[in-house]
């Protein structure tokens, strides 16, 4: 770091030539002779006394120098700090009729929402959104760091409370809808956590690969949690794999919680160094200036030249 970077208004330092000239004049001048009766008595010259007097005469110039330094705006550069990189996580939850099937102590929907609630409370600092889907898509909670709306959502969107036209399962439509939400966020990573229990016909005939390409192009990672019977549909396994995510099949409620812990481990929180910032640094310079002023005050009481 250059010395001039320590001051906000470095050009003010050019005025330091004034106190420097005063100090030079003090120490280079011969001084005035005073005629006294014993001028020719051969008395030795007081070298130490002369140096002391010149030091005292230098103090006003040093006070001026400190004033110039303070006017130049002394500053210091903070040590770079670590900043959390925001992760935008969109939960995409199936609310078709089959999500009312028994799972653990309740049904599939209740287990999924309970696991999501635990995840957002443990992994704080990210932005979360909540989307429900069947044959249609409903963005229930926009991406936000305030997770209270997600925690209170389960009773309102239970499949038993929804109209019949939410009854199917269209994962492709839901993923494209989540993609539109995530691409609007320019800051941070993007991730979709898909929770479903069924097969989706809108992923057939190569449509799964097309959707995966769209997600990869926008930097969106998909994690799929299949809580239905049977094997995980190959189409969603392919989408998760192509985007850099993974597909899971928990066998029970405890397994569902383990899956979310696994996702948290795989999608680690990222930290980046922030740029150093300059802050005012007047304290040390002010203390030095007060010290010089104190020395000048003490010198005024006795350490001064008297021409008589």
Distance, in Å, from the CA atom of 205 to the CA atom of 203, rounded to the nearest integer, reads 7
Q: What number of other Cβ atoms are within 10 A of residue 291's Cβ?
A: 12
> In terms of residues, how long is the chain?
308
Domains of the chain (ranges plus CATH)? 3-30+46-78+279-300 (no CATH), 83-271 (3.40.50.410)
Antiparallel, parallel or unpaired: β 220-226 and 189-196:
parallel
Residue 184 to residues 142, 269, 303, Cα–Cα distance (Å) = 11, 21, 73
The whole-angstrom distance between residue 192's C-alpha and the CA centroid of its chain comes to 23
Measured distance CA(98)–CA(102) in Å, rounded? 9
Residues 6+ apart with CB under 8 A from 169: 94, 96, 98, 133, 134, 135, 196, 197, 198, 199, 200
Q: What is the pTM assigned to this prediction?
A: 0.62
- For 111, residues 6+ apart whose C-beta sits below 8 A from its C-beta are 103, 104, 227, 253, 256
| pLDDT computed for residue 229 by the predictor | 83
Asked if 165 contacts 200 with a C-beta cutoff of 8 angstroms, the reply is: no
Residue 106: phi and psi, rounded to 5, are: -140, -135
Cβ count near 44 (within 10 Å):
5
Q: What is the pLDDT of residues 250-275, one digit of tens each?
A: 887 778 888 888 888 876 655 555 55
How confident is the model at residue 1, as a pLDDT? 47
The answer to whether 120 and 148 are in contact (CB under 8 A) is no
For residue 291, the model assigns a pLDDT of: 87
pLDDT along the chain (308 residues), means of 10: 69 86 81 53 60 80 86 74 73 92 89 91 87 92 89 89 82 95 86 91 92 94 90 92 92 82 73 59 84 82 56
**Whole-Å CA distances, 265 to 121, 205, 262, 293:** 15, 33, 5, 60
């Amino acid at each position: 770091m250059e010395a001039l970077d320590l001051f906000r208004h470095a050009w003010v330092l050019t005025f330091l030539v004034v106190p420097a000239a005063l100090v030079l004049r003090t120490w280079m001048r011969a001084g005035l002779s005073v005629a006294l009766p014993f001028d020719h008595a051969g008395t030795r010259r007081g070298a130490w006394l002369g140096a002391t007097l010149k030091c005292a005469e230098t103090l006003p110039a040093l006070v001026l120098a400190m004033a110039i330094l303070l006017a130049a705006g002394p500053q210091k550069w903070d040590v770079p700090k670590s900043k959390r990189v925001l992760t935008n996580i969109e939960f995409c939850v199936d609310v078709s009729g089959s999500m009312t099937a028994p799972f653990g102590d309740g049904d599939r929907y209740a287990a999924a929402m309970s696991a999501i609630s635990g995840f957002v409370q443990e992994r704080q600092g990210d932005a979360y959104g909540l989307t429900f889907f069947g044959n249609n898509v409903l963005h229930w909670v926009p991406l936000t760091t305030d997770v209270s709306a997600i925690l209170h959502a389960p009773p309102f969107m239970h499949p038993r409370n929804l109209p019949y036209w939410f009854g199917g399962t269209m994962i492709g439509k839901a993923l494209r809808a989540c993609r539109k939400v995530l691409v609007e966020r320019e800051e941070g990573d993007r991730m979709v956590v898909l929770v479903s229990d069924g097969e989706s016909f809108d992923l057939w005939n190569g449509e799964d690969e097309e959707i995966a390409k769209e997600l990869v192009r926008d930097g969106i990672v998909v994690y799929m949690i299949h809580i239905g019977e049977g094997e995980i549909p190959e189409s969603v396994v392919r989408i998760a794999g192509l985007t850099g995510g993974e597909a899971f099949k928990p066998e029970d409620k405890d397994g569902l919680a383990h899956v979310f812990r696994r996702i948290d481990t795989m999608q680690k929180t990222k930290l980046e160094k922030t740029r150093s910032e300059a802050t005012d640094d007047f304290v040390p310079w002010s203390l030095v200036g007060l010290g010089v002023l104190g020395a000048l005050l003490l010198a005024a009481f006795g350490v001064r030249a008297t021409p008589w």
